[in-house]
Chains A and B, each alone.
Chain A
Amino acid sequence: MMAMRLARPAFLIDINGAADLQGIEVAAETITLGAAVRQRQIERDASLAARLPLLGKALRWVGHAQTRNRGTLGGSIVHADPSAELPLAACVLDATLLLRDTTGETEMPAREFMLAPMVVAIAPEQCLAAIRFPAWTEARSGCAFDEVSLRHGDFAIVGAAAQLALDASGKCVRASLGTSSAPIPQAHAKIAQRLVGTALDDATIADAAADVARAVEPDADLHGSADYRRHLAGVLAKRVLVAARDEARGRR
């Protein structure tokens, strides 16, 4: 923001040295990442790749090695660029944000955090301390992240992410789905819920993707009209649902 000359704060406080913002805690039910954990660190952590695979898949689309080496998970979430991958992944995974001030810590669902492009529900005296992700413990699960951008590493025009779990018979037992494009990333919880109990056949997925295209209300800009983005949201929703299902089924 400062390099873009969009902000020139009177005071600068460097939180990079705060050790309690750097933790990675992998527990049975949850995975908690400090806000200042570097994107590159998440990418290279084998236990996170196993327990939180969607984050690693999202990071493949984030910037370049030179930016991921310094960029943090918390920085991306509070910056809240509407096309950014990590806020979308946090919404799809229904992460909880731990916001800290001098009086203590409050929790907020990632799905309620983003209000508008680069506008988030954080008080001036608060700092994002950590992000807690629910761990999916189902034996058969799969996830996928996809997006359309002008060039790899550029801001996404539209992004989509899904995570699905199946029971032994192949029936969907848990589903999460979301898309990003301005004004904010959206988790399509009701559409995802309707997938639970189905066999996730192609027709069911196509219906859900069509629902996504109807549910989004994207802004237009010079890279694409609202209609184009709505179309992309449907196409990408279908792609990520098919890819997540196939991974859960063990086809790839």
Chain B
Amino acid sequence: MEKKHAVAIEVNGKILRAELPARLTLVDFLRDEARLTGTHVGCEHGICGACSVLFDAQPIRSCLMFAWQADGHRVTTVEGLANADGSPSVLQDSFCETHGLQCGYCTPGMIVAAHALLEENRAPSEAEVRAAIAGNLCRCTGYQQIVDAVLLAASRKK
């Protein structure tokens, strides 16, 4: 039997306690243990960005760290970016408005990356938006509408 490690991780404002094997990745913990399937598993080696979450408010790849390394830290997934009543945030709604998704696989990662950008820069240029989502792959290649969504969200938040 593999040894398990006790952790307490704050996920979307709630402390989750679990006993986890050392090699369980953070994204597998979020999806399989915390049942938060908004965060997607794409390439599983740090290239595609689908698994992006906020770790202590900074965007990271949750496939590139082990869940127990988040012990004592704060994780926010795409579910945690919605409004308190569960309705879509301004940014999330902007993705709907501009048709900023086709298959939707990259969308949670795009929203996390864009959220982190807008937290630091309330009025980004198109180039700044493109740089912020450069680490997120959209295999539908729908980048233009994604950029439009982020710019729309920035203008709505003014």
Contacts and interface: CB of A to CB of B under 8 A. Distances in A.
Are A and B a genuine interacting pair, yes or no?
yes
Contacts of B55: 69-70
A69 B59 contact: yes
A66 B45 contact: no
Interface string B102-140: 000000000001001000000000000001101100000
Interface string B81-113: 000000000000000000000000000000001
B70 to A, nearest CB: 11
A139 interface: no
Nearest to A152: B134
B76 interface: no
A70 B60 contact: yes
B4 interface: no
B144 interface: no
Contacts of A70: 55, 60-61, 64-65
A66 B65 contact: no
Given A65-B116, A153-B134, A4 B45 contact: yes
Interface string A127-143: 00000000000000000
Contacts of B22: 12
Given A3-B46, A12-B23, A16-B69, A67 B135 contact: yes
Interface string A60-74: 000111110110000
Nearest to A153: B134
Interface in A139-165: 151-153
Contact of B135 (A2, A40, A153): A153
A14 interface: yes
Contacts of A153: 134-135
B39 interface: no
Contact of B132 (A40, A65, A151): A65
Nearest to A64: B135
A66 B52 CA distance: 7
A63 B23 CA distance: 24
A69 B64 CA distance: 12
Contacts of A40: 58
B45 A67 contact: no
A193 B20 CA distance: 55
A67 B65 CA distance: 11
A66 B63 contact: no
A66 B69 contact: no
A40 B116 CA distance: 14
B63 A64 contact: no
Nearest to A2: B23
A152 B132 CA distance: 11
A137 to B, nearest CB: 33
B44 interface: yes
Interface in A1-27: 2-4, 12, 14, 16
A3 B113 CA distance: 21
B49 A66 contact: yes
B59 A66 contact: yes
Given A12-B66, A65-B116, A152-B131, 6 more contacts: A12-B23, A63-B135, A65-B113, A66-B60, A67-B61, A69-B55
10 contacts: A3-B45, A16-B69, A64-B49, A65-B58, A65-B132, A66-B60, A66-B135, A67-B60, A67-B61, A153-B135
Interface of A: 2-4, 12, 14, 16, 40, 63-67, 69-70, 151-153
